[in-house]
Amino acid sequence: MRTDTVIRNDGTQVLMDNLGLVEAERFIMLIQRESFDYTKWQENLFENMSIEEISQKAADHRKNSQNLLNAEGKYFQKGSCI
């Protein structure tokens, strides 16, 4: 199991890689400033979607993420994260 520090560092790196330093910091400030109820957000995330739609979105996301990470060679290697 990965430690909280490792998860925090990896998450920050993903944000910076995808948003850039300035927007990653802005995103973190937005999260800290707003009261964000993750549980409530999750409850509404897939509202009005069928199981088939959710499954297809998950499969598409996994395929796209796997291709992206494999191409970069940073975070994904044959079924495991580094």
Question: Cα 16 from chain centroid?
Answer: 12
pLDDT, position 42: 79
Alpha helices in the chain, H assignment, sequence order = 4-19, 21-33, 38-45, 51-72
Per-residue pLDDT tens over the stretch 16-46: 999 999 999 998 888 888 777 778 877 788 8
Phi-psi region of 76 (alpha: psi -120 to 50; beta: other; left: phi over 0): beta
- Domain with 75, as residue range(s), is 4-81
- Number of folded domains in the chain? 1
What are 12's two structure tokens? 């920050």
**pLDDT tens readout for residues 39-65:** 887 778 888 888 999 899 888 888 777
Contact 33, 40 (CB under 8 A): no
Instruction: Return the DSSP state at 2.
Output: -
